[in-house]
Amino acid sequence: MHEGNLVICDQEQQYARNLLQMFARNREAGIQMYLFHTVEEVERFAEQKPVHTLLIDKEYPPELREQIPAAERYVLITSRQDPLAENEEGVYRYQSAEAIWLQMRHEPAEAQDGRTSESEKPCTGERRKKQQNSGTDERGNSLTKANTDERRQAQHDPKTDPDPDELPEPKPDGRKQKASAGFSTGTKGELIGVYSPVHRIGKTRFALELGREMAKKEPVLYLNLEEYAGGSYYFPDQTGQTLADLLYYSRQEKGNLGLRISTMAGQDGALDYILPMPYVQDMQGISGEEWLGLFGQILENCIYQKVILDLGDSVDGLFQILEACHTVYTPYIEDGAARAKLNQYAENLRKTGREQVLERTIQKKLKQR
């Protein structure tokens, strides 16, 4: 396995998350791990960053796997008869994560007598072609149809094959997780601010609808930075980790925040979100510089092309954050008081030298409820 970017692409999401977490325990310096569930996601990643090592499910057809540029290519197989390209190496799916890791590190697992286990020797497309030409496998066994079928039946014996769902579970957070969150784009995405000085007009609903629409085309993360976000209404399942936890991890794990977010992010359709802070005192204790540092880490280390910030008045450094946004959406309603507040807000921006925020602002008229 090369140092650099290790990419896992697997349709069995729970199995893949377990495998990623077990790999993370053995992770060495210089290796960054990323998890996807579609070839399209990997291809988009490969356009931005090199794929040094690819571990991919055999359920993706060989012609699709070949489209992914990778220095080393491993395929999770369930049978030695699964088709492999010449530059691919088969890794048996139903073995321990440690055995898979050792094979990818070119350190074959050992049998009980200390010798290298034949069953753990890598199966490559090139080796298989030689075996087929000779009519034997690695052990010298005949590759006749009868023997092949017998071995295939033994390999798929439900009494002996462990169920991937029986692998140790990661610590549950009670929410559906989107593991594909844990990779870097290599180029910074955009911060999208949603802020209005006019309150109780459906701003959060607008921000979520905006995020869902954007998420149909590209990865999007929604963060609520309001003092009273009403998270239990918009996200009824409140058993998971919150934005406060993400800030803590960002201070501790600057190099691997993408992997951490992959285990924290909930989903609303295609939109990812982190639960808002439950206590306004915690929100008010975070400086504007720290918020901007967190957003920078997310854009640098995660998949997200857009990070939607649903901003409230109590967040420290509000104008700084608005300045950092590529676009600012300002919802409003047609009302005399609302118009007066918008004018006062705009005047404050001008007087503090932040006219560029107004230049990047899109005002959205909402229907009065």
In this structure, are 156 and 206 located in the same domain? Answer: no
In this structure, are 125 and 213 located in the same domain? Answer: no
What rounded mean pLDDT belongs to the chain?
76
pLDDT over 70 at 224, yes or no: yes
- Within a domain: residue 197? yes
Residue 342: pLDDT band with limits 50, 70, 90: very high
Ordered DSSP codes for 224-289: EE-SS--HHHHS----S-BHHHHHHHHHH-TT-HHHHHHHH-EEETTEEE-BPPS-HHHHHTS-HH
pLDDT for position 261: 79
Do residues 261 and 298 make contact, with C-beta atoms less than 8 angstroms apart?
A: yes
pLDDT over 90 at 242, yes or no: no
- Tell me the CA end-to-end span of the chain in Å, nearest whole number: 58
Phi, psi angles (nearest 5°) of residue 75: -120, 125
- Within a domain: residue 190? yes
Alpha-carbon distance 190 to 83, whole Å? 41
In this structure, are 189 and 98 located in the same domain? Answer: no
Q: How many domains does the chain have?
A: 2
- Within a domain: residue 172? no
- Within a domain: residue 176? no
Q: Taking the alpha carbons of 228, 232, 238, 240 in that order, is the dihedral positive or negative?
A: negative
pLDDT for position 357: 93
- Within a domain: residue 171? no
60 by DSSP, 3-state: which?
coil
Domain of residue 86, residue span: 4-166
Read off the CATH number of the domain in which 60 is found: 3.40.50.10850
Where among 110, 136, 166 does a domain terminate? Answer: 166
33 by DSSP, 3-state: which?
strand
- What is the residue type of 24? A
In this structure, are 159 and 193 located in the same domain? Answer: no
In this structure, are 357 and 210 located in the same domain? Answer: yes
pLDDT over 50 at 111, yes or no: no
Q: Taking the alpha carbons of 163, 169, 175, 181 in that order, is the dihedral positive or negative?
A: negative
Alpha-carbon distance 144 to 148, whole Å? 6
- pLDDT tens digits for range 301-337: 787 889 999 999 989 999 999 999 999 999 988 888 8
- pLDDT tens digits for range 10-58: 988 778 877 887 787 666 667 888 888 889 989 988 888 899 999 999 9
In this structure, are 161 and 254 located in the same domain? Answer: no
Decide the pairing of beta strands 271-273 and 266-268: antiparallel
- Within a domain: residue 315? yes
Q: pTM score, two decimals?
A: 0.53
In this structure, are 150 and 188 located in the same domain? Answer: no
pLDDT for position 241: 80
In this structure, are 220 and 115 located in the same domain? Answer: no
- What is the residue type of 130? K
pLDDT over 60 at 113, yes or no: no
- pLDDT tens digits for range 67-104: 999 999 999 998 878 889 889 999 888 787 888 888 88
